[in-house]
Structure 1
Amino acid sequence: MDSLLSLRVFAAVADARNFSVVAERLGLSAAMTSKHVQHIETQVGARLLNRTSRNVSLTEAGTIYLAAVRPLLEGLDEVGARLAQSTIDPRGTLKISLPVWLAEPGFVRMLAAFQARHPAVTFDLDLSGRQVNLVEDGYDLALRVSPALDEGLIARRLTEISFLLVASPHLLDRIGRPRQIGDLTGAPFLAYSPVSVGGRVRLGLGPNAPETRMHPVLQSANETVLFQAALEGMGVAIMPHLAARPYLAEGRLERLLPELSPPTVGLAAIYPERSYLPAKTRSLLDFLAGVEGFGGSTYLA
């Protein structure tokens, strides 16, 4: 027998002082209502209700027991209502893992627009660059360009990220502006260490994609350091187009070999597989899908 239901039946009968009224309200038979109360009395080893043909009243033990269990039942009802509401209205903290290069004005304005639309949602952002475990570390979702997924995760593809070959104008004034990829052979290179090995760079996908080998002068797994070094003219860098765009517009960086198709990787929102996706997560996913650069019409840059 469902002990939680038995507790609810007992509390309802104690309040109504009537088995028949409670049976009708809960959709139970009178016999089953009585059995639920008997189930609780058997569990606690005491009579909780005095029953006569005319009325029902609490025993001393029943009064003590009801006072103890009522806050528990009310607490369960409150939590259930809050959880049910959270599946409808976006609220709570969204813990998200992001690549470092998304720490740029356009993406932050996008988050601000979402939060203005859903003020009950707050953000906890991790831009450390580390590969977090979404389930064990308690993340709601991650934005990743990695095609591999951990077990138990699902992904929603948002957009394509192009990785552009860029350099500062004063570096190019010094080493010359390349007309073809071979002109970059031996050029100073700012290498993203998890991907670039030995300065080898391939523009595009497939075995026939053009490639060259530059000279790594700085190597790091932190994209921010590489981007700043590119602005200082230390070397050629490969930057996601979302991160490179404002610097290109300002003339602080130039795109190299624009006639060559850049390497492009899908950006996906990855989240733990759940039967019921919280409204805060679902709403952000839908919002991202409706913003250019993230699937829709106008990226807020």
Structure 2
Amino acid sequence: MTRRLPDFEAWAIFAKVAECGSFSGAARELGLANPTVSKAIGRLEAQLGLALLARTSRRLSLTEAGRGALERASRILREGEALEDEAADQAHVPRGRVRISAPLSFGTAFLGGILPDFLAAYPEITLEFALSDRRVDLVAEGFDVALRIAALDDSSLLARSLCKVRILLVGAPAYFAGRGHPTHPRELQHHDALAYSGSAQRGVWRFRHPLFGEETVEPPVRLWSDNADLLNPVLVDGQGIALQPEFLVWRELRDGQLEIGMPDWSAPALGLHLVMPPNPLRPQRVQLLIDYLAKALAHPPWDSQLKGKPPAKFRA
């Protein structure tokens, strides 16, 4: 028996409805009438004999079958967009929306400074940033790319490493003058810690020494925050010490407001990565942004500061 061609359009519409959270939002994004979107979903559900979406007067949510189908449906949508972009005349101006997830502190500190050049070069591309320390599901939530500062887990996602991010034990000179410089992680039990509560192992600080190996400590914490930016003014005021990513404290280190507290011991470094859905076909607008971010963030200003070089052009 000849198999019927899959309803690719309906699957793409389903992916857009899941991304937008509503029929009307998907209709606006796709330039379709609301009844067209509703009929496409109804057509799929009739063919499958299963409900993909649970509808109430106030809320639209995925059923178990819908959740199981979403990743592949999103792939159909993204690959269709990418194929159309690839097939289009390259002389056409790149246009459309790109959705990006990025860490909150990193995004507010640096991304705004590098985006004007991209926006000026591609006036028809719209960027939508979601700044949060939450690890989003790129496929299910409809993101084109994410910036992540982490030791990446194995996954089906594609990743492009940009640079390393050192994690530094820092405090104000006045703090160390009064409390002394620790020389071993065990001494941190007698210091006041300011801690980021969003780390994978809350309150656990790990260090490594080239001769003495690894040490783990849980120092007493005077201040917790789920946003590491909040800790900097308290650090500069001399109220404690903290493990901070270098991109948040390089200026204070340069200006002498903070100093490294235990230079012979290092905390595990993290990497700055561009993470993308597994589909190798991407719309031109997405690839342009990926290449731009990779170039702009390959040599960030804290890296130049570390190596004693003048910072590259980087508005921040």
The aligned residue for residue 199 of structure 2 is 195
Label 1:280 to 1:202 Cα distance change in 2 as closer, same or farther (>3 A): same
Secondary structure of 1:203's aligned partner: strand
Q: Secondary structure at the match of 2:195?
A: strand
Q: How does 1:1-301 map to 2 (within 5 A)?
A: 84=88, 89-149=93-153, 151-195=155-199, 197=201, 199-204=203-208, 208-291=213-296, 292-293=298-299, 298=312, 300=314
The gaps in structure 2 that reach 5 residues or longer are: 6-82, 305-310
Q: CA deviation at 1:283?
A: 1.8
- The change in CA–CA distance for 1:90 and 1:242 in structure 2 (over 3 A counts) is farther
Q: Quick one: which amino acid aligns to residue 263 of structure 1?
A: P
How far apart, in 2, do the equivalents of 1:246 and 1:196 lie?
A: 26
**Does the 8 A contact of 1:101 with 1:240 survive in 2?**
no
Deviation of 1:193 after TM superposition, in Å, equals: 2.4
Residue 251 of structure 1: CA displacement? 2.7
Distance 1:197 1:144, change over 3 A: closer
Q: Distance in 2 between matches of 1:218 and 1:196?
A: 17
Give the 3 Å change call, closer, same or farther, for CA 243–88 of structure 1 in structure 2.
farther
One-letter amino acid matched to 1:215: P
Shift in Å, 1:143: 1.0
Residue pair 2:225, 2:231 contacting (<8 A) in 1 also? yes
Instruction: State the Cα distance separating 1:141 from its structure 2 match.
Output: 1.0
Contact 1:186 1:213 in 2 (8 A): no
Instruction: Assess, with a 3 A threshold, how the Cα gap between structure 1 residues 163 and 90 changes in structure 2: closer, same or farther.
Output: farther
TM value normalised by structure 1: 0.62
- Contact persistence 2:86–2:284 (CA under 8 A): no
Question: Scaled by the length of structure 2, what TM-score is found?
Answer: 0.59
What RMSD, in angstroms, separates the aligned Cα atoms of the two structures?
A: 3.6
* Structure 1 stretch displaced more, 219-228 or 195-204: 195-204
CA distance, structure 2, for counterparts of residue 107 and residue 176 of structure 1: 37
SS of equivalent to 1:129: coil
Unaligned runs of 5+ in 1: 4-78
Cα drift, residue 148 of structure 1 = 4.0
Matched length:
225
